[in-house]
Amino acid sequence: MKARIGILVLATSVAAAAWQAPGAPASPTWRIGTGMSEPEPKKPKNPFRSLTGVVYAQSSDNPVPRALVTLKNTKTLAVKTFIADEKGSYQFAGLLPSADYEIYAESNGVRSPTRTLSNFDNRAKPTMDLRIPAKTKAEAPKAESKK
Mean pLDDT computed over 8-17: 50
Residue 54 pLDDT exceeds 70: yes
Q: Which amino acid is at 56?
A: Y
Residue 19 pLDDT exceeds 70: no
CATH numbers and ranges of domains, the chain:
49-132 (2.60.40.10)
Residue 7 pLDDT exceeds 80: no
User: Average pLDDT of the chain?
Assistant: 79
117 CB-near residues (< 8 Å, 6+ apart)? 51, 95, 100, 101, 102, 103, 126, 128
Over residues 71-119, the pLDDT tens digits come to 999 999 999 999 999 999 999 999 999 999 999 999 999 999 999 999 9
Q: pLDDT at position 71, please?
A: 98
More confident site: 12 or 128:
128
List strands edge to edge, sheet with 130-132.
89-95, 49-57, 130-132
CA-CA-CA-CA torsion for 100, 105, 109, 111, nearest 10 degrees? Answer: -60
Burial of 63 (0-12, 13-18, 19+ CB in 10 A): middle
Q: pLDDT at position 133, please?
A: 94
What's the pTM value of the predicted model, to 2 decimals? 0.63
